[in-house]
């Protein structure tokens, strides 16, 4: 009987978890040891993360584990945010949250020094005001060493200061081809006063855990999206939670003007490859409806199954849906504004949201195929959205290809499998993919009624004005 364990510290923008993933006799299992809230704090300086509390909660979770010889630990978090430390490795201030408003206008400011098209060509990163480059431009009177949040947490555990490549590639500061920091961009942005750490590959063993030398600390894919999708193979993927990250793994970045215009980003992932993807709205609208109605996803989906299909559509990325309040009314307003039938039941609204998400996925799939010259025959959905049989069925029908759904905990499993790969417990990414595929929760959904969905897709493009947006 063979057994190996890895501890995945998974931090999202609303919660954090310490999870033990066990591989025993060719089977993966998962146990959540500690769960805690993680929300930005509104302070006099801006919207900040409580870094000291994060480290305390992580330490509290790790203290509950009876570590064994050859165990390991890794960390994944959201992208772009960072910590500044001084020459004595002391944190200079709490890290800003990417939602803080101090970066407003920075894209325009940077565009006076370098065309944003060139910025995209160098970095492959979607140009957004929350990018690290614009955050650093907004720092007033500060200097120091810039460490992304997972880099700092790994330093807290190991004493080693490095930057893992997947998290570095979220910054709009790394040359996506050389995989090095772009000195040109640092000079243009006026941020030479900040020092950057050496960039290391995903799956690098940093050293022993400072509190237990039997345990190794590993820099896996520190960006949670890449941890979630690193072991899914070469087909299309959607990592679906509040947001949907949709894309595919490729050998080379795509940095054409059309790719930039359509909002795609290139990130480094396991094995030196590129994750080419787009950030879309995911379960956000449904989450808002659930809270507004004091309902559950199961009840909402049950009611939606009773509603008539393919009656109306919304653009799930429309700015009117970005704020949480009054979501039902916003959907009804959108339908009236676009001269569509307004359902009389809540189930009808839920069906519209699910079908519209699926149509958005189809539109994005078409863009990925056009921009990369590839053709995909399957799509893998992971994260919380993989639990929804309705969303998976709608996606299969809209795209006309099978959907492989699960696991919901893809980030934790991916985090752990990268550790197993670094330790030689598994031999390659393909074996990791096989272990994911063998999980009992994995479901396969085949497309049905594709002719009806093809006809409806034309109506979706018209009412969402997507034909014009795609030109």
Domain-terminating residue out of 174, 196, 219 = 219
Q: Are both 122 and 239 inside the same structural domain?
A: no
With respect to residue 79, please indicate whether it lies within any of the assigned structural domains: yes
The answer on 210 and 85 residing in a single domain is yes
Whether 84 and 145 map to the same domain: the answer is yes
SS3 62: helix
Do 87 and 192 lie in one domain? The reply is yes
419 located within any domain: no
Q: Quote the percentage of the chain above a pLDDT of 70.
A: 99
| 143 within some domain | yes
pLDDT tens sequence across 41-88: 999 999 999 999 999 999 999 999 999 999 999 999 999 999 999 999
Cα–Cα dist 418/434, whole Å: 14
At which of 219, 244, 272 does a domain end?
Answer: 219
Q: What is the mean pLDDT of residues 455-470?
A: 85
Contacts by 107-113, CB closer than 8 A, 24 or more apart: 107/134, 109/137, 110/134, 110/137, 110/188, 110/189, 113/188, 113/189
Whether 232 and 367 share a structural domain: yes
- Please list the residues that pair with 82 across neighbouring strands: 148
* Residue finishing a domain among 175, 197, 219: 219
- Amino acid 162: pLDDT: 98
Domain of residue 303 covers 224-408+441-471
- Look at residue 270 and give its three-state secondary structure: helix
421 falls within a domain? no
Question: Are residues 169 and 299 both part of a single domain?
Answer: no
3-state secondary structure of 469: helix
Per residue in 94-145, pLDDT tens? 999 998 999 999 888 888 889 999 999 999 999 999 999 999 999 988 899 9
> Looking at residues 195-218, what average pLDDT do you find?
98
Q: Indicate if 202 and 264 belong to the same structural domain.
A: no
With respect to residue 375, please indicate whether it lies within any of the assigned structural domains.
yes
Active site residue 25: no
- Maximum separation of any 2 CA atoms in the chain, in Å: 66
Could you tell me if 90 and 180 are in contact, meaning their C-beta atoms sit under 8 angstroms apart? no
Which two structure tokens, joined as six digits, stand for 306? 């009773």
200 and 280 share one domain: no
**Does one domain contain both 307 and 199?**
no
Q: Within a 13 Å sphere around the CA of 452, how many CA atoms are in the beta-carbon half?
A: 10
Give the whole-angstrom CA distance, residue 267 versus residue 23: 28
* Pick from 282, 313, 318: nearest CA to 455: 313
> What H or E segment, with its residue span, contains residue 264?
strand 264-268
Q: Indicate whether 293 and 186 sit together in one domain.
A: no
Whether residues 321 and 469 fall in one domain:
yes
Structure tokens at 146: 């810039």
The domain tally of the chain equals 2
The one catalytic residue in 71, 76, 151, 224 is: 224
For the chain, state the CA radius of gyration: 22
Contact 381, 441 (CB under 8 A): no
Give pLDDT tens digits for 283-321: 999 999 999 999 999 999 999 999 999 999 999 999 999
pLDDT band at 13 (very low <50, low <70, confident <90, very high): confident
For residue 416, being part of any structural domain is answered with: no
Would the CA dihedral through 152, 154, 158, 160 be positive or negative? negative
Gap between the Cα atoms of 74 and 441, Å rounded: 24
Identify whether residues 188 and 270 lie together within a single domain.
no
Return the pLDDT at 468.
Answer: 59
Residue 320 domain-assigned? Answer: yes
Using the structure block, give the residue that is written with the tokens 């460490």: 147
Percent of all residues in the chain with a pLDDT value above 90, rounded to a whole number = 92
The CATH number linked to 54 is 3.30.420.40
Q: Give the pLDDT of residue 397.
A: 98
Please check whether residue 37 lies inside any domain of the structure: yes
Mean pLDDT, to the nearest integer, of 161-170?
A: 98
Residue 1: predicted pLDDT: 44
Helix (H, G, I), strand (E, B) or coil at 232: coil
pLDDT given for residue 93 in this prediction = 87
What would the pLDDT profile of 320-359 be if each residue is shown by its tens digit? 999 989 999 999 999 999 999 999 999 999 999 999 999 9
Q: What percent helix, strand, coil does the chain show, rounded to 5?
A: 40, 25, 35
Residues 412-426: what's their mean pLDDT? 98
407: preceding bond cis by omega (within 30 degrees): yes
Q: What mean pLDDT value characterizes the chain?
A: 95
């Amino acid at each position: 009987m063979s057994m190996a364990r890895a501890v995945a510290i998974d931090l999202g923008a609303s919660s954090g978890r310490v999870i033990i993933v066990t591989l025993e006799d060719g089977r993966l299992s998962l146990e959540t040891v500690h769960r805690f809230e993680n929300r930005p704090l509104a302070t006099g300086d801006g919207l900040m993360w409580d870094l000291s509390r994060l480290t305390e909660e992580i330490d509290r979770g790790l203290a509950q584990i009876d570590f064994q010889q050859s165990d390991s630990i890794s960390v994944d978090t959201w992208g772009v945010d960072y910590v500044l430390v001084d020459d004595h490795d002391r944190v200079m201030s709490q890290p800003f949250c990417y939602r803080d408003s101090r970066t407003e206008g920075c894209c325009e400011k940077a565009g006076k020094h370098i065309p944003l098209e060139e910025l995209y060509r160098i970095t492959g990163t979607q140009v957004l005001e929350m990018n690290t480059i614009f955050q650093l431009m907004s720092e007033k009177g500060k200097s120091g060493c810039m460490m992304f949040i997972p880099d700092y947490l790994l330093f807290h555990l190991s004493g080693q200061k490095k930057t893992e490549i997947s998290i570095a590639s979220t910054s709009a500061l790394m040359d996506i081809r050389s995989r090095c920091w772009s000195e040109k961009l640092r000079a243009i942005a006026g941020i030479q006063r900040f020092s950057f750490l050496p960039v290391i590959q995903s799956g690098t063993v940093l050293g022993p855990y400072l509190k237990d030398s039997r345990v190794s600390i590993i820099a896996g894919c520190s960006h949670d999206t890449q941890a979630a999708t690193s072991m899914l193979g070469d087909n299309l993927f959607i990592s679906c939670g509040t947001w949907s990250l949709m894309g595919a793994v490729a050998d080379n970045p795509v940095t054409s003007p059309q790719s930039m215009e359509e909002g795609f980003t290139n990130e480094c992932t396991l094995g030196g490859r590129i994750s080419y993807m787009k950030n879309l709205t995911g379960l956000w609208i449904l989450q808002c409806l659930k809270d507004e109605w004091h309902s559950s996803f199961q009840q909402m989906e049950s009611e939606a199954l009773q509603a008539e299909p393919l009656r109306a559509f919304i653009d799930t990325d429309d700015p009117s849906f970005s704020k949480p309040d009054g979501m039902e009314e916003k959907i009804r307003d959108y339908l009236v504004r676009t001269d569509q039938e307004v359902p009389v039941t809540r189930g009808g609204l839920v069906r519209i949201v699910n079908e519209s998400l699926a149509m958005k996925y189809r539109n994005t799939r078409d863009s990925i195929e056009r921009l990369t010259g590839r053709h995909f025959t399957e799509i893998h959905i992971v994260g919380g959205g993989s639990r929804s049989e309705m969303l998976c069925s709608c996606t299969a029908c809209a795209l006309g290809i099978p959907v492989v759904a699960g696991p919901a905990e893809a980030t934790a499993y991916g985090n752990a499998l990268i550790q197993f790969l670094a330790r030689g417990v598994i031999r390659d990414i393909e074996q990791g993919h096989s272990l994911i595929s063998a999980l009992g929760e994995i479901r396969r959904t085949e497309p049905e009624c594709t002719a009806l969905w093809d006809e409806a897709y034309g109506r979706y493009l018209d009412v969402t004005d997507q034909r014009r947006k795609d030109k």
